[in-house]
Structure 1
């Protein structure tokens, strides 16, 4: 990434608290150190029952509780990512109400922005139809470059455990 500070560029990174999003946050911070731009960490949230459910039965305390939970999850993710230390870059954080893909694309709207995401887990065809990939959505719709950070090895091992595959032996020399 080139220095985009002069044209208002920044690095927008999607945060959920998952290992993949924390890896994306670390990559975004590394990119920001090289290019001296601000990092905007965004955690997207929707009300319980999604927006459609909320519109059918609006309840302002539910929105307030959802926002508070999102802010707490964002703080926890940042604490986990940096162990309570300063990230070493200009870091701004927002919990934004909205569908994840659409909201991240909307946040990364400046010339020179870079959108950084965790690549997420590989899923079957049916799962992709029911819950489309945020990364794929952002790649198709973003007006700026999108960097998809591969899942960290620990996340792949945990997913293998969930599928019943057990832990693999490390390769020789690791």
Structure 2
């Protein structure tokens, strides 16, 4: 990675820290680690949520609807903003941040944003996952920058079972 000396005599890494954010526990863990890496290396944090129309691009191109596309863009933006609220309670402290909502498949969006060899791409993965996912393999084949994978926090088996059996009414009662 390239290093530059700024006016204060301290060094920082060139490039950006790019992180994919979907709202999953793994992506929230990746966002937290990416912000810390950006803060430590004094790089810009670029958080990206990729989206496509739920019916797919091919069908949308046959029957384009700007309002429908705007709706799904807004949903993706809300998901990205909610991730920042969940992880940091708003903005990432002490980090210059760019939030991007890109209409593309995640592989394309992430590999185009992390195109420079001095960038760092941070991706979340499920806990206990020892092999890279399809998205990880595809991104790795399309970019030259280092990739840091961050596992989601593990949830104890008993708690997973209890959460699986809960209903919406169980959560509504918690607020009373």
Shorter-chain TM-score: which interval? 0.7 to 0.9
Gaps of 5+ in 1: 165-174
Give the Cα separation in 1 of the matches to 2:158 and 2:96.
32
Counterpart in the other structure of 1:49: 55
Residue 153 of structure 1 and its aligned partner are, at CA, apart by 1.3
**CA separation in 2, counterparts of 1:159 and 1:107?**
37
Report the equivalent of 2:143.
142
Q: Deviations over 1:87-141 (max 9, x none)?
A: 3211110111000111110111124101100024679xxxx9xxx7222211222
Q: Which has the higher strand share?
A: 2
Partner of 2:70: 64
Compared with structure 1, are the counterparts of its residues 33 and 7 closer, same or farther at alpha carbon in structure 2 (3 Å cutoff)? Answer: closer
- Asked if structure 2 preserves the Cα contact closer than 8 Å seen for 1:47 and 1:63, the reply is yes
Once the two structures are superposed, residues 26-62 of structure 1 have per-residue CA deviations (whole angstroms, 9 ceiling, x without a partner) of: 1101111221101000000001211122122211111
Equivalent position of 1:117 in the other structure: 123
Backbone CA RMSD of aligned residues = 3.0
Counterpart residue number, 2:79? 73
- For the 8 Å contact 1:113–1:144, the answer to whether it is kept is yes
The runs of 5 or more residues in structure 2 that have no matched partner are 5-10, 165-176
- 1:106 maps to 112
TM-score norm. by structure 2 comes to: 0.76
TM-score for both structures, normalised by structure 1: 0.77
Distance 1:10 1:79, change over 3 A: same
Instruction: Work out the CA distance in 2 between the residues paired with 1:62 and 1:114.
Output: 34
